[in-house]
Amino acid sequence: MDTSKMPIGKTTISPEVLVSIALLATMSVEGVSRMSPVPRDINSLFKKGLADGVAITVEDNMVYTEICVILKKDVKVREVCKQIQNQVSRSISEMVGMEVGRVNIHVEDIDFSE
């Protein structure tokens, strides 16, 4: 039987998978202390990942990400944020093959504790 003409099927990626990928990619960047919960509004009441500091929206196979972080003291904030953007974008693209529209980083605080 010629398998090259068989229908391929459909792959569905759960939003929780995208949240996990973004979370792990963010935490792998040097200078990130921890995640900060994403501020909630009425429209986001039932979305996953908001308590983890990651909000994911998928529109037309394009991923839009909001990430809230608390950074360590004595880091260059702009550089750490750029690294987070690059790491999250690359991880999502490589792991699930989806395009990333934007990765917005929200620095909520600086961790001055030891």
Tell me how many degrees the CA angle 97-1-12 measures, rounded to the nearest 5: 25
Residue-wise pLDDT tens digits, 67-85: 999 999 999 999 999 999 9
pLDDT of residue 43: 47
Name which residue leads in pLDDT, 74 or 114: 74
Count up the domains in the chain and report the number: 1
* CATH number where 92 lies: 3.30.70.1350
Residue-level pLDDT at 86: 98
- Could you report the per-residue pLDDT of 34-68, keeping only the tens digit for each? 999 877 554 454 455 556 889 898 888 899 999 99
| Residue 40 falls inside a structural domain | yes
Q: Is residue 5 part of a domain?
A: no
**Side chain identity, residue 50:** L
In-domain check, residue 1:
no
The whole model's pTM is what?
0.83
Strands 99-111 and 62-72, sheet pairing: parallel
Domain of 35 in residue numbering reads as 13-111
**Is residue 50 in a domain?**
yes
The enclosing H or E element of 62 equals: strand 62-72
Burial environment of residue 51 by CB neighbours within 10 A (0 to 12, 13 to 18, 19 or more): exposed
Q: For residues 96 and 61, which has the higher predicted lDDT (pLDDT)?
A: 96
